[in-house]
């Protein structure tokens, strides 16, 4: 992958063509089994409200608490123990075996009228968000209710940048469901009390910008505006967007807006999302509607399988994605992509010593000195490392990408950040 250094970022070879050859989003096949983790990325937990051996329906609530969790299939609860998680190692989970009937829970799919939706107060909309298990499908993983409730804000910003190579889940969703995304954002604005909504679109997604612009004009939407983001990675981290739009903003993902539309309009809880299957090791790179809880293995095998055995499988893109030791991990809310890469695209070189070149400094989006933090961390001088403010690192991976010594700089900075 070619990187061009720019101040506070990189321009990347985006390689998105392979998943844009097919303009639609394929329906995911019904899995035989799902595994639904009960712990979110922000460590919020849900407690089971079903028991072992209980029959459940698709869209039925199976756990509640700090987060609300639903089954994405109908079937039987067959296990309630710790299971492999793509980001947390292991976490409490509920395992459900499908009965192949895929029977929906009551009310799901029943349409609310525009008049009924217009009559909802902000608190009623927030309650729908909470009861539907809606989450921020970007980097944070927090519940939408907790993101929007009780905080005064000037604007809601939808991150439509999708700046990682290969990943096109948001782009296809924007192209297929622009009106639904706009309506979902309108309802989030009402629920939060924000003054406006801003959709921040990358310049490489020009067609999405123009599509949104036409729909905003046609539907006479006055409280949502579009802005361009430069094609510099990373583009839409909080520090950058707050610098552009002010500190009183909340940043969400376009997929969150679509999930909001489905929850409000169709009584549909959050139980599936668009996932990009990409990489030259896959037989059929594509975007699919994946049910939460389906394993990476089942999802890949049911959509073409491997062309050749991958050297690395990542959840997410090549810059910030997390390598998986096993494919028996479930799709979760933040699984925007599964990337299967061959050995020639994965760096296998052994790290050398830092040569003090300083290449990592100008590409850091939050103006850190990653090399200084890394050098202190390598010596386990955690107190000294704190002098360089590792806590503001956004973990974008630019420092590792440009290091001529192949040092995993980001991983050292993360250790210092969490020490």
pLDDT tens per residue across span 33-67? 999 999 988 888 999 999 999 999 999 999 999 99
Which domains, ranges and CATH numbers included, belong to the chain?
Answer: 31-107+269-344 (3.10.20.600), 114-266 (3.40.50.11540), 350-418 (no CATH)
Q: What is the pLDDT of residue 139?
A: 66
Per-residue pLDDT band at 332 (split at 50, 70, 90): very high
Q: pTM, whole model, 2 decimals? A: 0.94
Mapped to the 3 state alphabet, what secondary structure does 183-218 carry? HHHHHHHHHHCCCEEEEEEEHHHHHHHHHHHHHHHH
Number of H helices, E strands in the chain: 13, 19
Say if residue 399 is preceded by a cis peptide, omega within 30 of 0. no
Instruction: Name the CA radius of gyration of the chain, rounded.
Output: 21
319, pLDDT greater than 60: yes
pLDDT average, residue stretch 247-276: 95
Residue 274 has pLDDT above 70, yes or no: yes
Tell me how far CA of residue 58 lies from CA of 38, 97, 111, 385, in angstroms. Answer: 17, 12, 18, 49
pLDDT of residue 7: 55
Which residue carries 């937990």 as its tokens? 45
Please count the other Cβ atoms lying within 10 Å of the Cβ belonging to residue 301: 14
Q: Could you write out the DSSP letters of every residue in 69-92?
A: EE-SS-EEEEEEEEEEETTTEEEE
Lowest mean pLDDT among 150-154, 354-358, 408-412: 150-154
């Amino acid at each position: 992958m070619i990187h061009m250094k720019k101040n506070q970022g990189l321009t990347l070879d985006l390689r998105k063509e392979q998943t844009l050859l097919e303009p639609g989003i394929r329906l995911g096949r019904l899995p035989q089994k799902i595994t639904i983790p009960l712990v979110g990325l922000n460590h919020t937990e849900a407690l089971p409200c079903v028991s072992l051996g209980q029959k459940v329906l698709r869209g039925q609530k199976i756990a509640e608490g700090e987060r609300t969790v639903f089954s994405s299939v109908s079937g039987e609860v067959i296990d309630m123990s710790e299971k492999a998680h793509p980001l947390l190692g292991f976490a409490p989970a509920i395992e459900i075996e499908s009965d192949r009937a895929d029977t929906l829970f009551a009310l799901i799919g029943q349409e609310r009228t525009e008049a009924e939706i217009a009559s909802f107060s902000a608190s009623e909309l927030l309650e729908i968000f909470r009861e539907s298990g809606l989450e921020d499908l970007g980097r944070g993983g927090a519940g939408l209710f907790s993101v929007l409730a009780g905080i005064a804000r000037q604007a809601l910003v939808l991150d439509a940048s999708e700046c990682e190579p290969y990943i096109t889940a948001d782009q296809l969703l924007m192209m297929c469901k622009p009106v639904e995304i706009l309506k979902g954002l309108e309802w989030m604005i009402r629920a939060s009390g924000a003054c406006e909504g801003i959709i921040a679109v990358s310049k490489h997604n020009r067609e999405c910008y123009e599509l949104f612009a036409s729909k905003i004009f046609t539907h006479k939407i006055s409280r949502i505006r579009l802005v361009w983001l430069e094609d510099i990675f990373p583009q839409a981290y909080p520090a950058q967007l707050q610098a552009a739009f002010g500190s009183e903003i909340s940043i969400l993902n376009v997929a969150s807006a679509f999930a909001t539309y489905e929850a409000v309009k169709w009584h549909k809880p959050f139980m599936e999302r668009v996932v990009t299957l990409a990489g030259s090791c896959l037989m059929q790179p594509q975007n699919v509607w994946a049910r939460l809880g389906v394993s990476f293995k089942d999802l890949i095998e049911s959509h073409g399988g491997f062309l050749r055995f991958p050297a690395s499988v990542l959840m997410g893109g090549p810059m910030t994605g997390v390598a998986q030791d096993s494919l028996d991990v479930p799709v979760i809310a933040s699984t925007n992509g599964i990337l299967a890469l061959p050995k020639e695209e994965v760096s296998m070189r052994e790290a050398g010593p830092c040569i003090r070149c300083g290449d990592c400094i100008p590409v850091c989006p939050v103006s850190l000195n990653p090399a200084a933090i890394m050098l202190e961390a390598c010596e386990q001088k955690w107190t000294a490392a704190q002098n360089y403010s590792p806590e503001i690192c956004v973990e974008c991976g630019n420092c590792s990408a440009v290091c001529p010594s192949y040092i995993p700089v980001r991983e050292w900075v993360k250790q210092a950040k969490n020490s």
